[in-house]
């Protein structure tokens, strides 16, 4: 039943809390999304990834689910959700939701029952263990939470500890229990029957823990990672779930895939495996050196090598193409080494060409299409290098709301001398930066919510000149470039199926490749620097006629030996 429609789609990720507020409470909601469906259609989007909208106490902004078959009160009702699906499908747009089943909220009924007693029928829905030491007051093993601190919480009532690889309010489900696996399949089928077209599977590589839960190697910051990532029964669990649910419908299943790289991806996403269709791997987002602490950290050579490895996978393996999501800081100016002063728009368009002319499943995150940036927090002086108008600074401790950011500051209270360093790092990498309200207009609160309403998250002050309304009316804007690029990509055989051949592989300035079908090819030329760079035609392109297809400058220059303009990106059919 799988048509693999994702191979010729363009996804748009919506973070509901920050997209559009329809009822004046300062929180984005489903009716707000419905009000913007024509915007998505006009942009050319053919599929939406919707971050969690299930009922949740919001310890981790919806990634702690208390009821998988209901909608968060702040976001609306199930009737609103049904209207959203219908509205998307009427416009030819498919919908995938977030599937968060490595853990639940500690306020889920399963966990409420589980913690009551050791013999409760739901006890083994989760991982409970006796502590170590004579008094049992030390955690069962040395694993660390992804949100800092031990991955275990002690419960006095039953004198045992439960596992939480994230917040203590996100207890991990025990997938060794066949009842848990059936529950997950039933949840998936519930949403498929409603018309949902697939799922993005949150931390799906963590669902199988090493038998016996042994100590992990001392490898900061995530002690235990190798003991719970892609271990033991992982393939068995996913294959069973696919057979019971995923593969019974025409779905797209995208895994958030820590531990999966280009080197081992084939065993997880090849069509013959019948498990995941594609994965979000984070090799390329980690290509910037020194954890983005320094202002000029992007390693372009490393970035290109990572892209090339994914492009070299068989046609039966679909890479994902993304630069941003709700867990990543904004790509502008991160992916151009923070040096794009005077050429911000050209740089943003260049990144789009460099990424989205490759083979794979493209994703754009809300606001990326207008060049939204990180918050200009006090510690992020590099922002002034990319845009002269970034002149409003705020202190990071006042704007960060994400559980991980808050935990960092809490953990450092005993070490105040480290706070300035942590602040500089968070100013570039905090998840909060991607969660600022969508910038719709130059009106109050960026048009995200009504004037006089306090939005749940700080609005980036650059909304007055960086917003969708302004850019839609400007033919040369980032938004209109994305619109042309998406239209050009959809149905394009060169991009969907063409052979990938790279040139200038050792250059730290140029990214040059072709997408070849027979004796014709798309030639893609990108200058990753804010300075003019000399370009010489590869031998394979010499003497060929060429037609300009896309360019991020208004003046389109012919293909040939010449000096590329700062951040120039051009695509030619040769």
How far is residue 360's CA from residue 468's CA, in Å, rounded to a whole number? 27
How far is residue 210's CA from residue 208's CA, in Å, rounded to a whole number? 7
How far is residue 527's CA from residue 336's CA, in Å, rounded to a whole number? 10
Token pair 């005993």 in the structure block, residue: 414
How far is residue 121's CA from residue 129's CA, in Å, rounded to a whole number? 16
Largest interatomic CA distance in the chain: 80
Strands 320-321 and 361-365: parallel
Strands 160-163 and 67-71: unpaired
Strands 320-321 and 278-280: unpaired
DSSP 8-state class, residue 128: E
Q: Which entry of 98, 256, 369, 390 is annotated as an active-site residue?
A: 256
Query: Angle 360-361-367 (CA atoms, 0-180°, nearest 5)?
Result: 125
Q: CA-based Rg of the chain, rounded to a whole angstrom?
A: 24
DSSP 398-434: HH--SHHHHHHHHHGGG-GGGHHHHHHHHHHH-GGGG
Q: Is 250 a catalytic residue?
A: no
DSSP 491-505: T-HHHHHPEEEEE-T
Whether the ω angle into residue 336 lies within 30 degrees of 0, i.e. cis, is no
Query: Which three-class secondary structure state does DSSP give residue 491?
Result: coil
DSSP 8-state class, residue 144: B
Token pair 């991990």 in the structure block, residue: 172
How far is residue 225's CA from residue 146's CA, in Å, rounded to a whole number? 9
Q: Which entry of 202, 379, 387, 402 is annotated as an active-site residue?
A: 202
Token pair belonging to 296: 């000029």
Q: Is 256 a catalytic residue?
A: yes
How far is residue 74's CA from residue 135's CA, in Å, rounded to a whole number? 43
Asked if 161 contacts 129 with a C-beta cutoff of 8 angstroms, the reply is: yes
Token pair belonging to 508: 């730290």
Residues pairing with 173 in the sheet: 126
- Cα distances from 367 to residues 390, 463, 525, in angstroms, run 17, 11, 25
The set of catalytic residues is: 202, 256
């Amino acid at each position: 039943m799988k048509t693999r429609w994702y191979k010729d789609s363009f996804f748009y990720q919506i973070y509901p809390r920050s997209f559009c507020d329809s009822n004046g409470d300062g929180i984005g909601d489903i009716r707000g999304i419905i009000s913007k469906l024509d915007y998505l259609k006009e942009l050319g989007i053919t599929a939406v990834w919707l971050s969690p909208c299930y009922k949740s106490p919001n310890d981790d902004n919806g990634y702690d689910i208390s009821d998988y078959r209901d909608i968060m009160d702040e976001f609306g009702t199930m009737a609103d959700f049904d209207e959203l699906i219908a509205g998307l499908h009427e416009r030819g747009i498919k919908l995938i939701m977030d599937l968060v089943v490595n853990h639940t909220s500690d306020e889920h009924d399963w966990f409420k029952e589980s913690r009551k007693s050791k013999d409760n029928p739901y006890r083994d829905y989760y991982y409970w263990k006796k502590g170590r030491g004579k008094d049992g007051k030390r955690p069962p093993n040395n694993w660390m939470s992804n949100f800092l601190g031990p991955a275990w919480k002690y419960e006095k009532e039953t004198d045992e500890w439960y596992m939480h690889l994230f917040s203590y309010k996100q207890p991990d489900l025990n997938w060794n229990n066949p009842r848990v696996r059936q529950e997950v399949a039933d949840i998936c089928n519930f949403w498929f029957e409603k018309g949902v077209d697939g799922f993005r599977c949150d931390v799906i590589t963590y669902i199988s823990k090493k038998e016996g839960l042994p100590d992990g190697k001392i490898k900061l910051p995530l002690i235990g990672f190798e003991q719970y990532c892609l271990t033991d029964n992982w393939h068995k669990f996913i294959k069973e779930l696919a057979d019971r649910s995923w593969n019974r419908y025409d779905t797209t299943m995208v895994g958030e895939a820590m531990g999966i790289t280009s080197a081992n991806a084939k065993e997880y996403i090849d069509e013959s495996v019948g498990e995941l269709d594609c994965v979000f791997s984070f090799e390329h987002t980690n290509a910037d050196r020194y954890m983005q602490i320094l202002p000029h950290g992007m390693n372009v050579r490393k970035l290109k090598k990572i892209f090339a490895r994914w492009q070299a996978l068989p046609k039966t393996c679909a890479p994902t193409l993304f630069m941003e999501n709700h867990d990543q800081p904004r790509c502008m100016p991160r992916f151009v080494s923070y040096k794009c002063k005077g050429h911000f728009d050209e740089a943003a368009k260049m990144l789009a060409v460099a990424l989205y002319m490759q083979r794979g499943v493209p994703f754009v995150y809300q606001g990326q299409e207008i060049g939204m940036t990180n918050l200009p927090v006090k510690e992020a002086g590099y922002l002034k290098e990319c845009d002269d108008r970034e002149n409003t600074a705020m202190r990071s401790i006042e704007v960060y709301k994400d559980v991980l950011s808050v935990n960092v500051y809490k953990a450092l209270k005993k070490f105040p001398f480290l706070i300035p360093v942590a602040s500089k790092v968070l100013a570039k990498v905090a998840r909060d930066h991607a969660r600022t309200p969508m910038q719709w207009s130059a009106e109050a609160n960026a048009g995200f919510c009504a004037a006089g309403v306090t939005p749940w998250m700080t609005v980036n002050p650059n909304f007055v000149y960086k917003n969708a309304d302004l850019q839609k009316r400007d033919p040369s804007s980032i938004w209109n470039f994305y619109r042309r690029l998406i239209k050009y990509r959809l149905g394009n055989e060169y991009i969907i199926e063409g052979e990938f051949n790279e040139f200038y592989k050792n250059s730290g300035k140029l990214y040059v490749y072709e997408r070849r079908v027979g004796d014709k090819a798309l030639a893609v030329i990108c200058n990753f620097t804010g300075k003019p760079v000399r370009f010489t035609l590869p031998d394979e392109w010499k003497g060929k006629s060429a037609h300009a297809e896309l360019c991020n400058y208004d003046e389109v220059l012919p293909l040939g030996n010449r000096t590329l303009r700062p951040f120039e990106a051009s695509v030619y059919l040769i």
